[in-house]
Amino acid sequence: MNINMSAICDTCEVQTNMRVGMSNRDVQPFRFCCQSCGSPIDFTIGRNQGQGKDFTGARQIPARGPFDEKTNFVDLHLDFPVKFGKYVMGNTPFMMAIQQIGHDRLAMHNHRLNQLNALYKKQGEIQNLIRLYSGRDPLLFRIRVEKFLRTKLKSSKPQDINAGLYLLVSRVFEPFINVHSVKETVESYTDFLINLANRNRVKLDDFIDHLANTRFLRNVQLDGLELYPAVLDAELPLRPALFLDFDKKYEGGGLSPARVSTDKFNAYKDLYKDIAEVLNRQLVIVAGINNLLHRDDYNAFPDLGRKKQPTSLNDFADIPFGSKMDWLDNCWFYFDTDAVDNQLRNAIAHFKAEYDDSTQLITYFPKLEGLEQEKAQTMYFLDFMRKLLISFREMHYLHHLVKSIYYYRILIQKKDG
């Protein structure tokens, strides 16, 4: 179902016509910018379709269709990428989505959207469950997570509490991940650790003891967990990014003409930076295992003939994220190098990134260039949210590696986490 609407911008008094495609989400907040003056316009469609349109930045007027080509026009839909331009009768976001990915893939996309429609209302409860896991009362966490998941844990022992946590994470964040790929990866972690133990149990145990005794393992687990509720909170602008899973023609990093019908870059740039930082720390674990695999010493890195050769895992932890991959020779873990754009991360964290609301174009400057910042790079907000999604997935894979190490420590080493 589509609703044709028209509004007059409060700032410049210019009219914009809108074709709003209805999602199954009960509350649908939209945002776009006036194409004449760039002022933001927000409105929300409530549970009853067509009702509850509370505009901010514009006033609604009666829509008279079919729309003409001279008046500013926007297509809006929460679930799909949309395009601004001329009005074309019949070219609704839904119909364009079918043409783009086909009926079968659209059905898979809708399945994930329906999961999100139920989950977004439970954000507060999910965040509280994650908080309870990191607290001091495992029994309370067990009681609450059993109620939420409608299942029973075997006990309140550490291994079963961890099982409850990762069952929670797997179910809640299923719409954001590739379920089959995660399952295969998690199973491979267990086999991999067992093979390492059979090869040199003492060295592996020393490594895991080091991670536990320095509290690095615990801290990186909790740092990752903190980001899961924030990703769920970003479900609105992630919806069209999830759609691109099914578009074989999409190539990340390009200048996509498609747009997102809600929210803006500044609300999520810190989340992208935080995910990158957790990935940066997770790579320390990957590196330690890689060194064990190739040199039987978690502190031994390959000799690349450089002055800044890390002499220990502690040294490696301080190496900038963009350079860490250089020291992972023949790495056992396949890391999607597109998961984090290090130049974009640097611009967000240290230098400069600008966002144009009206075009949804991000302009960022990866390097310090004195007074004149000339070497700018650009991407659209949809491409940015796609990068954020892929980065989260990579963090999620490695979060399960942390889980596997915990199980090894509890069940095989017979030690506390």
pLDDT digits (tens, 9 = 90+) for 108-125: 999 999 999 999 999 999
Q: Strand pairing of 72-76 and 15-21? A: parallel
pLDDT at 339 over 60: yes
pLDDT at 8 over 90: yes
CB of 284 closer than 8 Å to CB of 400: no
Q: Mention every residue, 6+ apart, whose C-beta is less than 8 A from residue 107.
A: none
- What's the whole-number mean pLDDT along residues 84-106? 90
How far is CA 155 from each of CA 146, 158, 164, 277, 399, rounded to the nearest angstrom?
11, 9, 10, 34, 23
Alpha helix (H) ranges present in 79-178? 93-119, 123-133, 138-149, 158-172
For the CA atoms of 115, 256, 74, 25, what is the dihedral angle to 10 degrees?
0
With tokens 């309870």, the residue in question is 132
In angstroms, the first-to-last Cα distance of the chain is 52
Q: pLDDT tens across 189-219, in order? A: 988 999 999 999 999 999 999 999 999 999 9
pLDDT at 146 over 80: yes
Q: ω into residue 66 within 30 of 0, thus cis?
A: yes
From CA 196, how far away is CA 294, in angstroms rounded? 11
Residue 259: per-residue pLDDT: 81
From CA 308, how far away is CA 412, in angstroms rounded? 37
Amino acid type, 342: N
Q: Which residue has the higher pLDDT, 258 or 247?
A: 247
Q: Mention every residue, 6+ apart, whose C-beta is less than 8 A from residue 315.
A: none
Residue 257: per-residue pLDDT: 53
Residue 79: per-residue pLDDT: 95
Q: pLDDT tens across 365-415, in order? A: 877 554 455 678 888 899 999 999 999 999 999 999 999 999 999 999 988
Q: pLDDT tens across 225-243, in order? A: 999 999 999 999 999 999 9
Q: pLDDT tens across 273-330, in order? A: 999 999 999 999 999 999 999 999 999 999 888 878 899 999 999 998 888 989 999 9
Report long-range pairs for 186-193 (Cβ below 8 Å, ≥24 apart).
186/400, 186/403, 186/404, 189/400, 189/401, 189/404, 190/404, 190/407, 192/289, 192/332, 193/404, 193/405, 193/408
Amino acid type, 281: R
From CA 247, how far away is CA 227, in angstroms rounded? 27
From CA 113, how far away is CA 3, in angstroms rounded? 20
**Its pTM surpasses 0.95:** no
CB of 99 closer than 8 Å to CB of 86: no
Residue 56: per-residue pLDDT: 94
Cα four-point dihedral sign 296, 299, 300, 302: positive
pLDDT at 351 over 70: no
Would you place residue 417 in the very low, low, confident or very high pLDDT band (cuts 50, 70, 90)? low
176 closest CA partner among 111, 130, 266: 111
From CA 82, how far away is CA 96, in angstroms rounded? 9
Q: pLDDT tens across 29-73, in order? A: 999 999 999 999 999 998 554 455 789 999 999 998 789 988 999
Residue 54: per-residue pLDDT: 83
SS3 content of the chain, % helix, strand, coil (to 5): 50, 15, 35
> What single-letter DSSP state applies at residue 408?
I
Share of the chain above pLDDT 90, in %: 66
Residue 253: per-residue pLDDT: 47
From CA 164, how far away is CA 145, in angstroms rounded? 7
pLDDT at 138 over 70: yes
From CA 241, how far away is CA 385, in angstroms rounded? 6
> What single-letter DSSP state applies at residue 83?
-
